[in-house]
Structure 1
Amino acid sequence: MDVHNVFLHGDLTETVYMKQPAGFVDEEHHDHVWLLQKSLYGLKQTPRAWFDKFSNFLLEFGFFCSIHDPSLFICAKNGDVIFLLLYVDDMVITGNSSSLLNSLLEELNKRFRMKDLGQLHYFLGIQAQFHSGGLFLSQQKYAEDLLIAAAMSNCSSVATPLPQQLNKAPHQDRLFENPKYFCSLAGKLQYLTLTRPDIQFSVNYVCQKMHAPIVSDFQHLKRILRYIKGTTTMGISFSNTTNCKMIVFSDSDYSGCNKTSRSTGGFCTFLGDNIISWSSRKQPTVSKSSTEAEYRAMSEATSEITWIVNLLCSLGVPQFETPELFCDNLSVVYLTANPSFHARIKHFANHYHYVREQVAFGNLIVNHISADYHIADVFTKSLSQGLFEELRFKLGVVVCGGI
C-alpha cells in the first residue's frame, strides 16, 4: 500500500514559523509569518512527525513495534496475526486472517488517503514474483536502469564480476578523473546487493576505493556492470517447502588487502534452504594470524545469528533446533569450545569471544567444513568462473525461468 501526500499528515510538536507563500500573502499584514500546526515537505521534523503519527495509529489498533526492527509492526489477536513493514509512505502488509486485515484496511482508509496496490509485486525497487514453489525476488528493472545510467546497456557481458588477479596494472595507477561519477555508480551497485549476494564481495571491494579511485578501480567497476549485463534476470528464489533450521557459513581471507594487510570477513545465513542475510566487509584492524581473522568473522556472524533468532521469535517462528555455524578453520572451531591457545589469543578483543560464550550457553553449534565446500568463499575473495558459478547456485541466485 501507498500513502498519498504522506508528509502532510504529521502533527508538529515543535514551534515552527514559515514565511507567507506567494499567492497567499495577507496584504494588510505582509510582514507576518505562519505558525505551522501540521508538517510540510522540506521540514527536518517532517519524517519524524509522520512516523509518530502513523505508529501511534498502529499502536491504537493493537500493533506493537518490534524492538529488533523498528520498521516492523506486529498485531496478534486471538491467534490471528498481521505483519506490517513500513518504509516512509510505502508498506507491505500480510497476515493469516482476512477479517482482521480488512478491519485494518478500513481503519487506514478512514485516517489516511491510501492507495491499495494489490498483491506484492514491486517494493522499493525489488520485484516479487510468486510461483508454485514459493517466491522469487529480483531487481531486473533497477539493474537495467543502472546500466543505462552508466551508458553500458549495450556492453558485452562477462562470466564473473571480478578477475582473479585484482592487482592493478602498472599503467593504470593514476587517479580516476571523475571520482564523483565513480562514487555514484558504486553507491547504486550497493543497493543491487539486496537481491544479489553473488556480487556482494565485488561491490564491497570497489566501494573501498571511493575515497581516491584510480583507473584500474574504475575498470573493476565496469567489469561488475558487464557481469550484471549478462545476469539482469537473476535473483533469489525462496522455497516454501523447506524447514526453518538456521545454518550459517563464515569465512575470512587472511590479510587479503595488499595496502593495509587487513582481512576480509564474510558470512551468509540460511533458513533451511533459503538464504536470508549475507555480508562481506573488510575488518577494521590487522589480524596477527588467520585464526584471529577467522575468529573475528565468526564473531560477526554470531551477532547476526542472535539478531535473526530474536527477530524470528517476535514473528512467531522460534528456533527449535540450535543454529549451526560452519567454518573451514579447525583452530577456530577448537577455540570456541576450549581456549587452549591462550598464549596466541590473549590479545584478542573481548567482544570477539562472544561466539565462545554463545557456544557455552548452548545457543550455537560450531562445526568444521572443508574449504572445498565452503559457500562463504564467495564473500571473501575473487574466484574462478567454475567455482563462482557453483557457489552462486548454492546461494540460491538463479534466473526466474530456471526456478
Structure 2
Amino acid sequence: MQQPLGFVDPNSPTSVCKLKKSLYGLKQAPRAWFDKLFQALHSLGFQQSSSDASLFVRHGPHLVIVLVYVDDILVTGPHSQICQQFITQLSSQFPVKDLGPLHYFLGLEVHRSSHGIFVHQSKYLIDLLKKTHMEGAKPCCTPLSSTKLDNSGPLLSNPTEYRSIVGGLQYLTWTRPDLAFAVNQICQFMHVPREQHLQAAKRVLRFLKGSFSHGLWFTKGSTHLSAYSDADWAGCTFDRRSTSGYCVFLGSNLISWSAKKQSTVARSSTEAEYRSLAHTAAELTWVCKILRDLHFPIPTLPTLWCDNISAISLASNPVFHARTKHVEIDYHYIRELVLANLLKVQYVCSADQLADLHTKSLSKSRFQFLCSKLPIGICSDSPSSLRGCIRENDKSPISVTVK
C-alpha cells in the first residue's frame, strides 16, 4: 500500500492511512447501507415499491418519488418545495449534497427544453470512442452487417479488448434502443470471441460515431400504454433459437425495450411469436404495477400489437390449446390477462412492426424507417453546459448524493 499522491506525510513517508469505515470495501456494506437508508425513508413516510426495490413513494397530501442507486438518489414530485423539505429532512440524518435539478446521473445526460426532456449519453460515448481508439473511424449507417455471426474464424489472441468494448456498449443501450439487437448479438460470444466478432463490435462503434448525439425524447401527451412484440423464428444459425423483441410505449414515449434470445428452441413460428408475446405481456404487467405504485391511473386498456395472426388467435381461442401443449404455461398466462380484461392483443402488419428492429439485422432503408418511428433524435437547442438556469417552480428531478 502507498500513501495517496499529495498526502504524503514528510514525517512518516512509509506509513499509510488506516481505513476506519468503507462503503465499497466490504461485501456486506451495500446491504447494510441500504437497510439504514430504507429505515430512514420509512420513518419519513415512504413506501417501497413492490415491483422495484430501489423505488420509494410517499403519497399523502403531496407526492414525492425517490429513486436510489447505492448513494446516488433522485428526488422528484409535482411540488418542488415539498421535495426540498424532504432533502432537508434527509440531510438531518445523513451528510447530503444537493446537486440541484437533474443534469447528469450515472453517465446519463438530461436536457430540458420547450419540446420536452432529452436523455442521451454523448459524453460517455465520446469517452468510449477515445478508449477504443475509434474516434477517427469512418461512420456507417447500420450497427450490423447482413452477415450473421457464428463460431467460425480465428480466435482472438487477447479477448480482453473485445469484452471491454462489449461491456461499454451494453451501458449505451439505456438511451439507444437501436443498439439492442446488435449488442445482444455480440454479447453471445464473450467467452470465446473471434476475429469476426471484434469486427462486428467495431462496426457498432462506427455506427455510433455517426450518431453520437442521438438520444431519447420524452414529451407530454397521451398516457395510453401499448407495446409491440415480434420474434425472428430460428434466427440463430448454430442453435436455431429464436430472438424475441419488444417495445413498450407510454403515449409516444418509449419506456422499455428488449432484444433477447429465447431459452428453448421453438418448433414453429407461432410458438416463437407466442413466447415473445408472453414476455412482452409480462413486461406490460410490470409497468402497470409500477404505475399503480405511483398512483398513476391508466385511462385505457393496454394494447399489445403482434404481426402473427396465429399467435393472436391462440391468445383468445381455446380450440388451439390441444395442439400447443408445449407452450401451455405461456398460453395460460396470456389467456388469463385477456380474459381478465387486463390486456388487449391486436394485429399489426409486418411493415409497421416496430419490434422488428430488435429481432434481426436489417437493411439500411428498413433500419432507418423503424428508427424514425421511435422517439430517437438529437437536441437541436442543447446548451454548451449541462447545467442551465433553474426556473421557478421547476418540477424536474433533483439529484442528491449522500456523502
Aligned to 1:69: 52
* Conserved? CA contact 2:225–2:303, under 8 Å: yes
Once the two structures are superposed, what CA deviation does each residue of 1:187-224 show, in whole Å capped at 9, x if it has no partner? 11111000000010000000011121111111111100
User: Aligned-pair distance for 1:98?
Assistant: 3.4
Matched residue of 2:90: which SS?
A: helix
User: Aligned-pair distance for 1:63?
Assistant: 0.9
- Structure 2: where are the runs of 5+ without partners? 1-14, 383-403
TM-score of the superposed pair, with normalisation by structure 2: 0.87
Query: In 2 relative to 1, CA 107–206 (structure 1 residues): closer, same or farther, beyond 3 Å?
Result: same
Q: What CA distance in whole angstroms lies between the structure 2 residues aligned with 1:60 and 1:276?
A: 31
Once the two structures are superposed, what CA deviation does each residue of 1:233-263 show, in whole Å capped at 9, x if it has no partner? 00000111x1111110000000000100000
* Conserved? CA contact 1:39–1:45, under 8 Å: no
User: Aligned-pair distance for 1:41?
Assistant: 4.4
User: Aligned-pair distance for 1:24?
Assistant: 8.9
Q: What CA distance in whole angstroms lies between the structure 2 residues aligned with 1:164 and 1:402?
A: 36
* Conserved? CA contact 2:315–2:331, under 8 Å: no
* Conserved? CA contact 2:23–2:33, under 8 Å: no
TM-score of the superposed pair, with normalisation by structure 1: 0.87
Q: What CA distance in whole angstroms lies between the structure 1 residues aligned with 2:350 and 2:330?
A: 26
- Count of aligned positions: 368
Q: Which structure 2 residues correspond to residues 132-211 of structure 1 after superposition, within 5 A?
A: 132-166=114-148, 173-211=153-191
User: Aligned-pair distance for 1:354?
Assistant: 0.8
* Conserved? CA contact 1:252–1:263, under 8 Å: yes
Q: What CA distance in whole angstroms lies between the structure 1 residues aligned with 2:147 and 2:321?
A: 36
Q: What CA distance in whole angstroms lies between the structure 2 residues aligned with 1:98 and 1:397?
A: 29
- Structure 1: where are the runs of 5+ without partners? 1-21, 26-33
Q: Which structure 2 residues correspond to residues 213-224 of structure 1 after superposition, within 5 A?
A: 213-224=193-204
User: Aligned-pair distance for 1:106?
Assistant: 1.5
Q: 1:226 corresponds to which letter in structure 2? A: R
Q: What CA distance in whole angstroms lies between the structure 2 residues aligned with 1:354 and 1:402?
A: 46
Query: In 2 relative to 1, CA 40–373 (structure 1 residues): closer, same or farther, beyond 3 Å?
Result: closer
User: Aligned-pair distance for 1:385?
Assistant: 0.8
Moved over 6 A (4+): 22-25
* Conserved? CA contact 1:263–1:287, under 8 Å: yes
Q: What CA distance in whole angstroms lies between the structure 1 residues aligned with 2:89 and 2:143?
A: 48
Q: Which structure 2 residues correspond to residues 212-361 of structure 1 after superposition, within 5 A?
A: 212-240=192-220, 242-361=221-340
Query: In 2 relative to 1, CA 164–53 (structure 1 residues): closer, same or farther, beyond 3 Å?
Result: same
Query: In 2 relative to 1, CA 388–23 (structure 1 residues): closer, same or farther, beyond 3 Å?
Result: closer
* Conserved? CA contact 1:309–1:318, under 8 Å: no
Matched residue of 1:348: which SS?
A: helix
User: Aligned-pair distance for 1:77?
Assistant: 2.1
* Conserved? CA contact 1:265–1:379, under 8 Å: yes
Once the two structures are superposed, what CA deviation does each residue of 1:243-285 show, in whole Å capped at 9, x if it has no partner? 1111100000000001000000000000000000000000011
| Seq. identity, % | 43
Higher relative contact order (CA 8 A, sep 6+): 2
Query: In 2 relative to 1, CA 352–174 (structure 1 residues): closer, same or farther, beyond 3 Å?
Result: farther
